[in-house]
Structure formats: structure tokens, C-alpha cells
Amino acid sequence: MKTYTWRQGRLTEGLELREVERFGPAVVLGERGRGRWEEVITLDRRTPPVIANGRVLDCEAREIVLPARDGRPERKFVVLTASKIPSSSVLVRVSTEWVYTRGSLGRVQVLHGDVQVIARGHGAHGAAGRIGSWEDVLLVVPPGGEIFIRPEGGYKTTAYRLWVEADGRVGAASDIDRDRMLAVGANGGGKT
């Protein structure tokens, strides 16, 4: 399935990779530290997706579950594999990090469709991570699916929506612009 990244009002193709010492190239969601959660999504070793200019443009997310043993709980993690079957669903990373504002919270909310949260990271401001925070989420959005994105920043930012058309095209616009598109009957297709 095709991959996209939504960050600071822009929708771009691909998932950006970062070099992680223990795992090699990986998608890193959120931050490490107090009041934060960092989730590392690695590439599958047997069937890794193709990397172009430090980005993965087409892949599938696969969950691996390690069983509980020796008193340890079950452990789940996600890896990215090469796509085997073409899909009209898309894999989207949404980072609600934008502008520091005391007390603001960046979040993602499902509006329509069977949108699946694959992995979630969390970032924050302040030593204890309590001044402002934001989500960093990896989602599978099927055709007809739509999400609401509220970036951190409170009154300094505007809300957005991201959707997938029935033909697989992905669109993103501000919440107000999307309402206008739906009011006049425009399909709102394509990237904006």
C-alpha cells in the first residue's frame, strides 16, 4: 500500500526513515523521555520495503507478537514489509507536533471508515512533559476513511482533515476547507 506523511499542514509521499543504532533505518514515532513515548518501527529483515531517498513509498505494516514467558508479559511490535498485494488503503503517519503552546494537545480522531491505529508515539514539551504534548500516529486508512487532525498549538493552529477517496486518492485540507468542499459537492480529491 502507498505511504504518506502528514506534518504541519503538508501531506507528502512516503515514510521518512531515521537511522537507529540498534535497528538500522526505521520510522521513529514520538520522543524518548519523561512524559513521552518513542515507538520504533523497523524494516522486516526477510522482505524489506524498497527505500528511495531515505523514504519508504510502498509497504505493509505487520504486527509481531512475542508470547508471554518467564513472568514477562506478551510483547507486540510492528515491522514494515514489502507490499505483496496492491491495496487501495494507504499507510499514513500523522505527526501533530507543530508549535509550542502551553497546555495544548495535538491529537488524531477517526471520523469515518475502518481506520486502524497501527502504532502510536507521544511527544511533549517541558522537563516532565506536562507543558504541551502531541501524538505521532501510524494509521491504515481505507477508501472512504477520514480522520480529524488537531495539531498542538491551540489558537495558533487550525484543525485539518485527511481522507482517502473510493479510488484510492488521498486528500488533506483544513477542516473549514473540507466542510466547504463537502457543502458544494466537490469530491476533494488529490493532495493539497
Domain count, the chain: 1
Task: Determine contact, residues 102/92, Cβ cutoff 8 Å.
Answer: no
Residue 186 has pLDDT above 90, yes or no: no
> Residue 188's pLDDT is what?
53
Of the candidates 151, 146, 191, the one whose C-alpha atom is nearest the C-alpha of residue 173 is 191
Read off the pLDDT of each residue in 113-129 and give the average, rounded to a whole number.
92
Of the candidates 89, 12, 10, the one whose C-alpha atom is nearest the C-alpha of residue 57 is 12
pTM for the structure as a whole: 0.89
CB atoms within 10 A of CB 53: 8
Provide the grid cell at 96. 501533530
Indicate whether 192 belongs to any domain.
no
Sheet strands side by side (includes 51-52): 15-16, 55-56, 51-52
Indicate whether 127 belongs to any domain.
yes
Domain assignment of residue 104, given as a range:
2-184
Measure the CA–CA gap between 181 and 27, rounded to whole angstroms. Answer: 33
Residues 142-185 have pLDDT tens digits of 999 999 999 999 889 999 999 999 998 999 999 999 999 999 98
Indicate whether 191 belongs to any domain.
no
Indicate whether 28 belongs to any domain.
yes
> Residue 100's pLDDT is what?
87
Measure the CA–CA gap between 179 and 188, rounded to whole angstroms. Answer: 10
Indicate whether 151 belongs to any domain.
yes
> Residue 187's pLDDT is what?
59
The residues, any chain, with a CB within 8 Å of residue 32's CB and separated by 6 or more, are 38
Sheet strands side by side (includes 90-95): 10-13, 2-7, 90-95, 132-141, 116-125
> Residue 132's pLDDT is what?
86
Average pLDDT for the chain? 92
Indicate whether 190 belongs to any domain.
no
